[in-house]
A and B are shown apart, each in its own frame.
Chain A
Amino acid sequence: MAAQQEHIFLEHLNRHQAILYKVCKMYTDDREDQEDLKQEMVYQLWRSYPSFKEQSQFSTWMYRVALNTAILHLKKSKRTVPTTDMTGHIQIADDTKNAEEKERMALFYRGVRTLSKVEKAVIFLYMEGQSHREIAEQMGWSEGNARVRLLRAKNKLKENIKKLEK
């Protein structure tokens, strides 16, 4: 029974692994920290899995657990070795991307990392195509609050990217 549950969970997890990958890259630029955060997210997802009611989509539930884990994740070290990919289970075949695309996303991630933990979460949900109402539900805010916070985060990100481009 437990093995079957693990199998189903892994299937779900692998289908939506990109979520973890992107959250990790948004929250830290250090290879080891990304790996730590990814492990922590998988652990928390597996631990909370019994509470997952199939009324919502797995990805919706995964957003909530992954983002809350990333927000609560405390980073002790101040390592500054920048990286654009991750080791371990989550690895991307970056060579298939063209250099321009890669550079653009690197710039985006650098800009995102200058935001606060909560702003990062809002931007992540926006990039995932979530509506204001869905963002509000995920974060436990009112729709109006989500709208204002998203607008502020987007403006801040735009400014930061502009600064980084110079």
Chain B
Amino acid sequence: MNIDEFKQDWDQEGQQLTPVSTLEKLKSKSSPLAKIRRNILMEMLLMLTAVIIIAWAIYTHDYQPMTRVVVWATCLIGAINMGLYYVQAFKMYNQGRKVDLSEPKSVLKYIFNFKLSLAMYKVYNYSLMPFALIMGLAVGRGGTIDHLYSAYLEHGVSNGNLALFFLGFVAFNLLLYLMVNAVMKSLYSKHLDNLEEIMDDII
């Protein structure tokens, strides 16, 4: 059967459709761009919630003078990085709204910018891992960092404890690394890869 044989029927298709009368409640739900934007928003809100909980936990705990310095210095580093994160996240969120689907170049530009931001975001996450451990110890069980510091002052550090700490440190960072990658993949990378694959196919 020749494809052209379908042309006559094709021209008759969709001739008696109910007209669209309103554009109210029109929202983008299923496009990968909409999904990416939704995920950015969700992540920003989750981050904000986490920051409030951590800040509250630290603020309400009375640390020893030495650990207080460490905890507040870590908080300061966290706050600066959080600020940078929010600036970039807002930027990507807004850029997603401006992508023009009548221009494939606009989609490609967004993919490129987002991938770049994502790579930077991952590096930023990895570099903050040791601080995340300090933060975890500061918040965990009413200031675990204080107990560790007291134990250190009383008993010093044996080689066994040092090795245990080192192993824990490596395991914690490895876990965080895997977690960051898995979260980034499920929130952004898989949608971006899919978009990129489609764009490659088009171009």
Contacts and interface: CB of A to CB of B under 8 A. Distances in A.
Contacts of A46: 23, 26
Contacts, number: 137
Interface string A1-25: 0000010011001100111111001
A105 B1 CA distance: 13
Interface in A143-166: 154, 157-158, 161-162, 165
Interface string A123-134: 100110000000
Contacts of B102: 48, 51-52, 61, 64-65, 68
B100 to A, nearest CB: 6
A72 interface: yes
A113 interface: no
A39 B26 contact: yes
B31 to A, nearest CB: 6
B6 A43 contact: no
B6 A108 contact: yes
| Size category, A interface | 35 or more
B183 interface: no
Contacts of A64: 102
Interface in A106-139: 108, 116-118, 123, 126-127, 139
Contacts of A19: 14
Interface string B6-46: 11011011111111111100111111110100000000000
Nearest to A124: B10
A116 to B, nearest CB: 7
Looking at chain A's contact residues, is the secondary structure mostly helix, strand, loop, or mixed? helix
B58 interface: no
Given A105-B10, A158-B2, A158-B3, A39 B29 contact: yes
Interface stretch (B63-71, B128-136, B149-157, B193-201): B193-201
Q: Which of A18, A36, A73, A96 neighbours the largest number of chain B CB atoms within 10 Å of its CB?
A: A18
30 contacts: A10-B19, A10-B20, A10-B21, A10-B22, A18-B15, A21-B13, A21-B17, A36-B29, A42-B26, A43-B26, A68-B102, A72-B33, A72-B101, A72-B198, A73-B31, A74-B30, A74-B32, A75-B30, A89-B17, A91-B18, A92-B16, A93-B16, A104-B6, A105-B13, A108-B6, A117-B198, A118-B202, A140-B104, A158-B1, A162-B1
Given A43-B27, A48-B100, 9 more contacts: A18-B14, A21-B14, A37-B30, A65-B102, A69-B31, A69-B101, A72-B101, A104-B6, A162-B1
